């Protein structure tokens, strides 16, 4: 009797081998659970980090998003909360988001067995949001439209109750004090001793401010609302995608995330970021007022956003080849900004008082 061939661990496959396997599995699952024919499907990879995300287009049909969560993914009940929020936003017709598609048996997510992988994997399918990804911050009206879209998300969170919304909490305790960059052994190695000391000093500086002023205003937030998760729509306006990190937190964290992502690309042009931020906030306040204590909290939330990035990069860098390419430079840049802040400089993206 022949001995069975040992299964190659998923983690031992290279980047392309992993993607090939994940695409094969997704093609097999789609026709089994959805009315989507996997055989004639065009699959265009959008990203592969903790999730493998494709734009999937059947022959002659509309496009969808297939998101296969394979590494540190949210459990199924948390993904269901995400999908219910997306349905609520879509039903309000105020901002365009990817509306989820349920299976033929009425489920939001489908478990997928990945051979040789030691973590559970789940597939979610959503409608594709057409338009232009990462709209240019210089395009007329984009800043206001991004602000308006952000405000409509927060308005939905403030006015529409969702039973059993079970998502991560994004606050100073979970992101900074107990975040991976300070607590995970592998992540700490990426920071080094000097980086750890810097991040601990940042925690000592901003944790009391955020704990004292921000706690009562927590609500549903996108959690990762950078410019790459915004879409310029064909008929005008801006849509929002990728709610995989949505959770409970302060709305200023979303605002800081948008503006931080714009600052990184606009900072070389004198006055460009300040003008964008002014227009963004004007668009936001057309829908709802800025959160209380915005002036006092905005700069600390810029640092908290960068800590969120550090948590992701320092844990992903050892298991994801793509992150390993750009991750070290991003870590070094954030730590340099934090050191300058601790030395008395304004943090990149900070604004004059409004």
CATH code, domain carrying 221: 3.90.1200.10
Do 121 and 140 belong together in one domain?
no
pLDDT higher than 60, residue 1: no
CA 151 to chain centre: 17
Look at residue 3 in the predicted model and tell me its pLDDT: 44
Do 183 and 274 belong together in one domain?
yes
Q: Is residue 353 part of a domain?
A: no
- Residue with the bigger pLDDT between 119 and 276: it is 276
- Residue with the bigger pLDDT between 92 and 320: it is 92
Using pLDDT thresholds of 50, 70 and 90, give the confidence band for residue 215.
low
Q: Name the pTM for this structure.
A: 0.93
Do 90 and 141 belong together in one domain?
no
Q: Is residue 68 part of a domain?
A: yes
The secondary structure of residue 116, as a DSSP letter, is T
Within 13 Å, how many C-alpha atoms sit on residue 9's CB side?
A: 4
Task: Determine how β-strand 230-232 pairs with β-strand 132-133.
Answer: antiparallel
State the CATH number of the domain containing residue 56.
3.30.200.20
Do 165 and 105 belong together in one domain?
no
Q: Is residue 28 part of a domain?
A: yes
Q: Is residue 98 part of a domain?
A: yes
The residue from 128, 144, 174 where one domain ends is 128
Do 299 and 173 belong together in one domain?
yes
pLDDT higher than 80, residue 4: no
Do 105 and 165 belong together in one domain?
no
Distance CA 321, CA 9 (A): 16
Do 54 and 120 belong together in one domain?
yes
Do 85 and 138 belong together in one domain?
no
Task: Determine how β-strand 247-249 pairs with β-strand 169-170.
Answer: parallel
The residue from 73, 106, 128 where one domain ends is 128
User: Of 200, 287, 297, 284, which is closest to residue 256 (Cα–Cα)?
Assistant: 297
What Rg do the C-alpha atoms of the chain give, in angstroms? 21
Q: Is residue 186 part of a domain?
A: yes
pLDDT higher than 90, residue 217: no
Angle made by CA atoms 181, 183, 187, in degrees to the nearest 5 = 45
Judge contact between 83 and 100, C-beta under 8 A. yes
Domain encompassing residue 154: 133-342
Using pLDDT thresholds of 50, 70 and 90, give the confidence band for residue 70.
confident
Q: Is residue 333 part of a domain?
A: yes
Judge contact between 198 and 172, C-beta under 8 A. no
Distance CA 117, CA 54 (A): 20
Do 92 and 150 belong together in one domain?
no
Cα separations in angstroms, 41 against 36, 118, 129, 189, 316: 8, 28, 18, 42, 30
- Count: domains in the chain: 2
Distance CA 208, CA 238 (A): 35
The residue from 98, 128, 158 where one domain ends is 128
Distance CA 294, CA 93 (A): 27
**DSSP of 128-186:** ---SEES--TTSTTHHHHHHHHHHHHHHHHHH---TT----EESHIIIIITSHHHH-HH
Look at residue 119 in the predicted model and tell me its pLDDT: 86
Angle made by CA atoms 221, 225, 230, in degrees to the nearest 5 = 125
pLDDT higher than 60, residue 314: yes
Furthest-apart CA atoms within the chain: distance in Å: 77
pLDDT per residue as tens digits for the range 11-41: 889 889 999 999 999 999 999 999 887 678 8
β-bridge mates for residue 232, sequence order = 132, 238
Distance CA 68, CA 112 (A): 8
Do 237 and 118 belong together in one domain?
no
Q: Is residue 1 part of a domain?
A: no
Angle made by CA atoms 98, 101, 107, in degrees to the nearest 5 = 130
- Residue 271: Cβ within 10 Å count: 8
Contacts of 242 (CB under 8 A, 6+ apart): 224, 229
4-13, 139-148, 344-353, range with the lowest pLDDT: 4-13
Judge contact between 53 and 47, C-beta under 8 A. yes
């Amino acid at each position: 009797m022949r001995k069975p061939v040992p299964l190659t661990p998923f983690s031992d496959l290279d980047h392309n081998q992993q993607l090939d396997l994940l695409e094969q599995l997704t093609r097999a699952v789609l026709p089994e659970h959805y009315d989507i024919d996997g055989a004639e499907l065009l699959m265009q990879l959008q990203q592969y980090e903790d999730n493998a995300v494709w734009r999937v287009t059947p022959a002659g049909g509309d496009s969808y998003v297939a998101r296969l969560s394979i590494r540190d993914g949210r459990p199924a009940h948390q993904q269901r909360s995400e999908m219910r929020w997306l349905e609520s936003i879509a039903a309000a017709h105020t901002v365009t988001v990817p509306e989820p598609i349920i299976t033929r048996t009425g489920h939001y997510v489908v478990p997928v067995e990945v051979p040789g992988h030691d973590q559970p994997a789940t597939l979610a399918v959503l409608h594709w949001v057409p338009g232009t990804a990462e709209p240019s911050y210089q395009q007329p009206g984009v800043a206001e439209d991004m602000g308006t879209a952000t405000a409509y998300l927060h308005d939905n969170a403030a006015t529409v109750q969702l039973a059993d919304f079970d998502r991560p909490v994004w606050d100073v305790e979970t992101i900074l004090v107990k975040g991976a960059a300070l607590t995970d052994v592998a992540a700490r190695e990426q920071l080094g001793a000097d980086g750890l000391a810097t991040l601990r000093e940042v925690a000592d500086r901003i944790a009391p401010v955020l704990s004292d002023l921000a706690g009562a205003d927590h609500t549903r937030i996108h959690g990762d609302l950078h410019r790459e998760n915004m879409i310029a729509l064909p008929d005008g306006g801006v849509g929002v995608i990728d709610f995989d990190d949505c959770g409970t937190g302060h709305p200023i964290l979303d605002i800081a995330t948008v503006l931080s992502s714009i600052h990184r690309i606009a900072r070389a042009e004198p006055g460009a970021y300040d003008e964008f931020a002014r227009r963004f906030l004007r668009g936001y306040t057309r829908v709802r007022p800025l959160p209380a204590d915005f002036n006092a909290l905005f700069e600390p939330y810029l640092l908290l956003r960068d800590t969120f990035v550090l948590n992701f990069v320092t844990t992903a860098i050892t298991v994801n080849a793509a992150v390993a390419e750009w991750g070290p430079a991003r870590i070094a840049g954030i730590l340099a900004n934090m050191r300058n802040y601790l030395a008395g400089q304004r943090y990149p993206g900070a604004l004059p008082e409004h």
